Amino acid sequence: MNGRVLHVVGTRPNFVKAAPVVAALRAAGCDQVLVHTGQHYDERMSDIFFRQLGLPRPDTDLGVGSGSQARQTAELLIALEGELIARDPALVIVYGDVNSTLAAALVAAKLGIPLAHVEAGLRSFDMAMPEEVNRRLVDQLAELLFATSPEAIGHLAREGVPADRIHLVGNPMIDTLLTHVDRFDPAAARTSHALPERYGVVTLHRPANVDDPEAVRAAVHALTEAARLIDLAVPLHPRGRAALGAAGLADAPGIHILDPLGYVEFMSLVRGAAAVITDSGGVQEETTVLNVPCLTLRTTTERPVTVTHGTNRLVAPTELVPALRKILDTTTHPPTEGPPLWDGHAGPRIARTITRWLDHHG
């Protein structure tokens, strides 16, 4: 095997997806570089994840931070260009659909460096979502496309991606979950945050929910009404904290506002929840494997397998309370099997494909 691989990560979901891939490539003796763009720069959204997930310290932290979509992407392009030129990798590996993912893909393409995309082929078909723009563009630039679910292969085929570039490998985010599941302690998390025996968890950060004032008011009203049914723990992402707070979320009875949590702490809360309300793609997947009912405050999802699996439902703010009441009043029977290949071995499958590719191209 010849050649260096360079991983680009920037946000919490990237870290969770990258951890099993980095570990599997390390076991294979691969020369690796880990670049953290700093898109998530809060210690509770970044540094703690490296410690808890066993990721090596980044070789470089670009410290880009927040900004508008255009400004952040532009700064990422400039910073990553210098890093890729200096490191001279044989392959760049990107994860998910955030701005760090798109910027790294564009820089690699301009420099003629092959690209691998972990979590390829997901589609919400909502081009108003910045993430949908990112994932579509990245998939057109990638040499190796690693799909987490069968429908992703169909999306890529319809977009003209050659079949020999596409690999169904399963979901590395679930590798991380299954590796650490014995560390998830709902009782300790509940006690730590003074929550009752039965509670829900809320995460909101998508622009559609936290940037538009009307959408923020609708979400806060729905959550306020939902908290009449069950106490809600709300770890607030830095994105949206001010808007949701200004709309009165913190003042509602039954709402427990929390600071951002580390991976183990957050997943401990999720594991013990009666229901989760979210707009996160990753949380939809994590609740599916943990068999925790999930209500997604979105009109579309790029993870339809979570809906067909029966653990997730898309709801508008006006539908939230009835949907939550139904969950709380119903005894659920978890599915007997998870989605295909969500078995904890996606990282090794990805590593095997990459090492074979490096043997021929590195």
Q: Which CATH class is domain 4-171+342-361?
A: alpha beta
CB atoms within 10 A of CB 182: 7
Mean pLDDT value across residues 73-90: 96
Q: What are the tokens at 250? A: 């913190």
Same CATH fold assignment for domains 4-171+342-361 and 185-329: yes
pLDDT bin (cut points 50, 70, 90) of residue 65 is: confident
Rounded CA gap, 97 and 302, in Å?
Answer: 11
Question: What pLDDT shows up at residue 356?
Answer: 97
Map out the domains of the chain as residue ranges. Answer: 4-171+342-361, 185-329
Q: Kindly report the number of other CB atoms within 10 A of residue 254's CB atom.
A: 16
Q: For residue 220, which of 194, 251, 198 has the smallest C-alpha distance?
A: 251
pLDDT tens figures, 212-231: 999 999 999 999 999 999 99
Which residues are catalytic, by number?
205
> Which structure tokens are listed for 140?
């057109």
Q: What is the pLDDT of residue 334?
A: 64
The reported pLDDT for the residue numbered 2 is: 67
In tens, the pLDDT along 94-145 reads 999 999 999 999 999 999 999 999 999 999 999 999 999 999 999 999 999 9
Instruction: Determine the Cα–Cα distance for residues 29 and 13; give it in Å rounded to an integer.
Output: 25
pLDDT tens column, 282-337: 999 999 999 999 999 999 999 999 999 999 999 999 999 999 999 999 876 666 67
The CATH code for residues 185-329 is: 3.40.50.2000
Mean pLDDT (whole number) for 58-84? 90
pTM for the model stands at 0.94
If you compute the radius of gyration of the chain from its CA atoms, what whole number of angstroms results? 20
